[in-house]
Chains A and B, each alone.
Chain A
Amino acid sequence: QQQVKQSPQSLIVQKGGISIINCAYENTAFDYFPWYQQFPGKGPALLIAIRPDVSEKKEGRFTISFNKSAKQFSLHIMDSQPGDSATYFCAAIDNAGNMLTFGGGTRLMVKP
């Protein structure tokens, strides 16, 4: 059972555009939601994270929007750049453990 569903699987955006990736979860015990960026041949690196007590968090060009009632959260990448081309994973951790539950990933390509 996939507890975190991520969409789209792939995304192509023009340079300067906005990239939007969505995730939905089922487990109401999740209380920490990080986003990871992964380049080919590398391990995932934490990009930005949010807890459910806030509805939005912004760091530079990256923004997480969180809708607790809908059990959904999304990543917005403003002014997308070719260097942002990577695979992005949403994830969640519940309040009982420390294991990350990952979404299926979104392969983003930003065209120059």
Chain B
Amino acid sequence: NAGVMQNPRHLVRRRGQEARLRCSPMKGHSHVYWYRQLPEEGLKFMVYLQKENIIDESGMPKERFSAEFPKEGPSILRIQQVVRGDSAAYFCASSPTLDNEQFFGPGTRLTVL
């Protein structure tokens, strides 16, 4: 039973480019969460999605960031026109239902040059 999968594990982008981060939840999990971890800091909630729906995006920056969880395929976190301040580790977590343990993936480490 594979865990939460994220790819790529490392991503390097130049300022102004787009970054696409993918997350495949554990089998049977329909709830996906994205968190961002800046260097030497704790994780900060970004967005909570269920299949085809954004449930809570209160932690998402208002511009340049978007997320989706289509009916088929992985969840995608998209960052347009990246800036150096976007450099961070982005973690995805999934759970089978609400009020259940969240299982984290290994993260994608984004570096913006």
Contact = CB atoms under 8 A, between A and B. Distances in A.
Contacts of B58: 99
Contacts of B104: 36, 43-45
Chain A interface residue bracket vs B: 20 to 34
21 contacts: A34-B101, A41-B106, A43-B93, A43-B106, A43-B107, A44-B104, A46-B102, A46-B103, A89-B42, A98-B31, A98-B48, A98-B56, A98-B98, A99-B45, A99-B56, A99-B59, A100-B45, A100-B102, A102-B42, A104-B41, A105-B41
Given A41-B106, A105-B41, 14 more contacts: A43-B4, A43-B91, A43-B107, A89-B43, A97-B48, A97-B56, A98-B33, A98-B48, A98-B98, A99-B48, A100-B43, A100-B45, A104-B41, A104-B42
Interface of B: 4, 31, 33, 35, 41-45, 48, 56, 58-59, 91, 93, 95, 98-99, 101-107
